Amino acid sequence: MVSDKINEVCRNYTLATGISLRIVGSGGVVLCQTGTSEAFDCINKISEFTAASTDNYDRAVGFACNFGGRYIFLTDIGFMQFVIPVFSNGDFNSVILSEPVVVKEKDYFLETEIISKYHFTDGQKDEIQQLYKFVKEVEPERVHPLCETLYINVSYITGGNLLRNVLDIEDVPHGHKLQSIISNYIADIKKSEESRERGLYPLDKEDELLDAMTKGDKQAATKLLNQILGHIFFYSGFNIEIIRSRVVELMTLLSRAAVKGGADMELVLGMNFNYLNEVDKLSTIEDLASWLSVVMNRYMEYVFSFVAVKHVDAIYKAKQYVRLNYMNKITLEEVAAHIYLSPSYFSKIFKEETKHGFVEYLNNVRVEHGKKLLLTDDIELSDISNIVGFEDQSYFTRVFKKLTGVTPGKFRQKRGL
């Protein structure tokens, strides 16, 4: 039976990687588990104590079912997991769920991302800390390979039958609705004397589509794709063979955008091979348009399935750089360059991920180190600001009081109490 083979794959995977797995059936029933359960128990306890939402898990399962056959996601409380749905004879069978891991420094994650964010009782803290000992710290660059390795093994056992048919997706636009959108754009083309006379292909729209996809702007990407399709349909004279060839070109464009956005090139090429076989089976313009919309959505979701990993990796490296260099004069531009991001993009994702601006975070780190130095009497107050990276003592005092409610001198007098 396929289920027995999948159980064996999961057991071997856990032995090889140390990552525990659960096979979960309908209704959330655990059908099988490999490895230990403490990491699962830990996240369940934290979710119970914080009433954290499980929507991201349900959404991840949906994404994995409808696209790519696997999905990596962050829980509301910051752990990372991946899911792989299993289909048997085209029907949904179960989900393989990895144990929750952290992709940050474990002690820092526990104290900063969990304990400091929620108002746990002492008993709850003790329970979480005991279970947290079994949570693994995984380097960000290992998360994708860990997910892919399991996916490839399960896919092999099931004969590659992990994915639904490409058109079997609930959110495929209804034909008449999509046709209406495209028809409206065709009407706009007809109104343009220049377009009608010259028949120029909208290369600028292709560039905008690439940009929208890599930025994750699904609404803009969908609009641009419909505009390009409208242009193709109008100037092809609605010849199905010409349209089919142009759709293949567009598919190549979409896959290039996915790779540019961070998707794995080999996997995208594999998807392209499957799509090339499928496009020949589509016999109507309406089917081609609907199918291409699905392809675009799938490429975009594939990019997004690893965005969380990339962001966590970037933020982790940025925070680590700050912790190692807080005593020096460091800037947002310097840290952004260190992790190979533009300053504006780094500033944006840092604020989104940490809920703090970069300068605010840097000052917090410096003040925390300043607190430790203030608890000793060996260092003069005037020297501490320089040691922790503040060039101006008065600025250090203002920031310190803003963050702690007292001046550095008062903090020292009260011994931090």
Is 95 within a domain?
Answer: yes
Query: What share of residues in the chain are helix, strand, coil (percent, to 5)?
Result: 65, 10, 25
Is 129 within a domain?
Answer: yes
Does residue 81 share a domain with residue 60?
Answer: yes
Is 338 within a domain?
Answer: yes
Query: Which of residues 283, 304, 325 is at a domain's end?
Result: 304
Does residue 76 share a domain with residue 187?
Answer: no
State the Cα–Cα distance between residues 160 and 250, nearest whole angstrom: 26
By the 8 A CB rule, do 66 and 43 touch?
no
State the Cα–Cα distance between residues 11 and 2, nearest whole angstrom: 14
Is 78 within a domain?
Answer: yes
Is 162 within a domain?
Answer: no
Does residue 343 share a domain with residue 283?
Answer: no
Distances (CA, A) of 325 to 31, 130, 267, 322, 389: 48, 32, 38, 5, 9
What's the CATH number where 364 sits? 1.10.10.60
Does residue 316 share a domain with residue 299?
Answer: no
Q: Output the pLDDT for position 175.
A: 42
State the Cα–Cα distance between residues 249 and 254, nearest whole angstrom: 9
pTM over 0.85: no
Does residue 198 share a domain with residue 143?
Answer: no
Does residue 142 share a domain with residue 23?
Answer: yes
Q: How buried is residue 16: exposed, middle or buried, by Cβ count under 10 Å (0-12/13-18/19+)?
A: exposed
Q: Output the pLDDT for position 307.
A: 57
State the Cα–Cα distance between residues 183 and 185, nearest whole angstrom: 5
Query: Which of residues 254, 285, 304 is at a domain's end?
Result: 304
Does residue 356 share a domain with residue 210?
Answer: no
Does residue 52 share a domain with residue 142?
Answer: yes
Number of compact structural domains in the chain: 3
Structure tokens at 270: 């594999």
Dihedral sign computed on CA atoms, order 42, 45, 50, 55: positive
CA geometry: angle 318, 102, 362, nearest 5 deg: 25
By the 8 A CB rule, do 6 and 158 touch?
yes
If phi > 0 it is left, if psi is from -120 to 50 it is alpha, else beta; for residue 44 that is alpha
Tens-of-pLDDT digits for all 417 residues of the chain?
Answer: 447 888 899 999 999 999 999 998 877 788 899 999 999 998 888 888 877 665 566 667 766 665 567 778 777 777 888 888 887 665 667 889 999 998 867 777 777 777 877 788 889 888 888 888 999 988 877 888 898 899 888 887 776 544 433 323 333 344 444 444 444 544 554 445 444 444 455 677 878 887 777 666 777 887 887 788 777 776 776 677 777 777 777 777 777 777 666 665 656 666 666 677 777 788 777 777 777 777 777 766 666 555 556 667 678 788 888 988 999 989 999 998 887 777 887 888 888 878 889 999 999 999 999 998 888 878 888 889 899 998 888 899 999 999 989 999 888 888 766
Is 169 within a domain?
Answer: no
Does residue 294 share a domain with residue 213?
Answer: yes
What's the CATH number where 56 sits? 3.30.450
Residue by residue, DSSP assigns 193-239 as HHHHHH----HHHHHHHHHHHHHT-HHHHHHHHHHHHHHHHHHTTT-
Does residue 193 share a domain with residue 138?
Answer: no
State the Cα–Cα distance between residues 212 and 35, nearest whole angstrom: 42
Query: Which of residues 304, 321, 338 is at a domain's end?
Result: 304
Is 170 within a domain?
Answer: no
Does residue 153 share a domain with residue 7?
Answer: yes
Does residue 316 share a domain with residue 259?
Answer: no
Is 164 within a domain?
Answer: no
Dihedral through CA 84, CA 89, CA 92, CA 94, nearest 10?
-50
Domain of residue 333: give its range: 308-413
Q: How many helices (H) and strands (E) does the chain have?
A: 20, 7
